């Protein structure tokens, strides 16, 4: 008999919990939709940025005969001098507003620069280049991983 008086309070609490759950669900769904919209756009932009950065750096003109592409493709034959590395570093940093980067193929790091906070990891672009004098494989996959300058 004493517990009978608590029924309205219990029902009120239950209805509060049910309504709060419904509101939270609607809010979460809308927040998820908005997040999904933003994250997709950001992904599309970052992909486009990385691909164009990769493309631009491969098309860079190192001197009258060598492009960025040739410098990397023929590095085993012609060498990969400090001057070439400095040139690539300067250009990539300027082109992509890059703080630090790493150029690697599937098995090794070819060239990397140091970051203020650990390793480059934020963005990545990929490209396949033709290696005319490589006895193992005529195609090499390059990955450019980089962090942008924080502003």
Partner 1 sequence: MKSVRKRQGKGAIFTISSVLEALFSVGILGIGFWFFLTKIVDIHVATLTADNERHAMNLANVLLSYEGLVYEKDGKLQRGVLDVRKLDSFAYGGRSQQLEPNSSLVKDAFRNYKKITFSYPNTISYITITDLENCTEQEGCKVWVATAVGPVNFDENFVKKFIDCLVEHLELTSVQAWSRRLEGCAVGAGFGAFIGSIVPGIGTGLGAAIGCGIGLLTSFFDPHDVSTCGVNSIPESVKYFFTSGSFVAAQGLPALIRLPDGTTHACRIMVGVIEWR
Residues lying near partner 1 in the complex (CB under 8 A):
5-6, 8-9, 11-13, 16, 19, 23, 26-27, 30-31, 33-34, 37-38, 40-42, 44-45, 48-49, 52-53, 55-56, 59-61, 64, 91, 94-97
Residue holding tokens 């992904």? 43
Q: 12 or 117, CB closer to partner 1?
A: 12
Distances (CA, A) of 6 to 3, 9, 10, 52: 6, 5, 6, 68
d(CA 78, CA 52): 26
Q: 67 or 105, CB closer to partner 1?
A: 67
Q: 94 or 139, CB closer to partner 1?
A: 94
Instruction: Supply the DSSP string of 43-58, one letter for each residue.
Output: HHHHHHHHHHHHHHHH
Q: Shortest distance, CB of residue 131 to partner 1, whole angstroms?
A: 21
């Amino acid at each position: 008999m004493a517990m009978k008086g608590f029924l309205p309070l219990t029902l009120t609490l239950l209805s509060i919990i049910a309504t709060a759950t419904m509101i939270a669900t609607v809010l979460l769904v809308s927040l998820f939709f908005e997040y999904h919209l933003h994250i997709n756009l950001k992904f599309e932009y970052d992909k486009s940025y990385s691909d164009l950065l990769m493309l631009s750096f491969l098309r860079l003109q190192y001197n009258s005969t060598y492009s960025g592409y040739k410098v990397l493709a023929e590095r085993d034959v012609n060498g990969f001098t400090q001057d070439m590395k400095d040139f690539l570093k300067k250009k990539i940093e300027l082109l992509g507003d890059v703080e630090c980067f790493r150029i690697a193929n599937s098995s090794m790091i070819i060239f990397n620069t140091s970051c203020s906070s650990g390793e480059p990891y934020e963005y990545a672009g990929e490209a396949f280049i033709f290696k005319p004098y490589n006895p193992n494989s005529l195609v090499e996959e390059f990955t450019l991983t980089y962090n942008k300058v924080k502003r």
